[in-house]
Amino acid sequence: MRSIYVVGIVVLSGLSLLFAVGIIYGEATDQWFLGGGFVGALLIAYSFIVLLLRQVGLIGPRKTER
């Protein structure tokens, strides 16, 4: 189970790297909608990374809401 999560994290990190490249590409070619859309995609990828990190147990819940 844990290894599936780790694979998921790696895949998502790769994806977010791709999205970051997309942001730069959109910015460089003045396609602002493209760039902005990639910002969103990047944040969503981050959110799933955070979820998987939580599932693996690397980050805990907030201290007050353990």
Q: Contact residues for other proteins (CB under 8 A)?
A: 32-48, 50-51, 54-55, 61-62, 64-66
Picking from 44, 43, 25, the residue whose alpha carbon sits closest to that of residue 35 is 25
| Amino acid letter for position 26 | G
Of 11 and 44, the one with the shorter C-beta distance to other proteins is 44
CB of 46 to other proteins, least distance (A): 5
Residues in CB range of 15: below 8 A, 6 or more apart: 45
CB of 27 to other proteins, least distance (A): 9
C-alpha–C-alpha distance, residues 39 and 7, integer Å: 23
CB of 55 to other proteins, least distance (A): 7
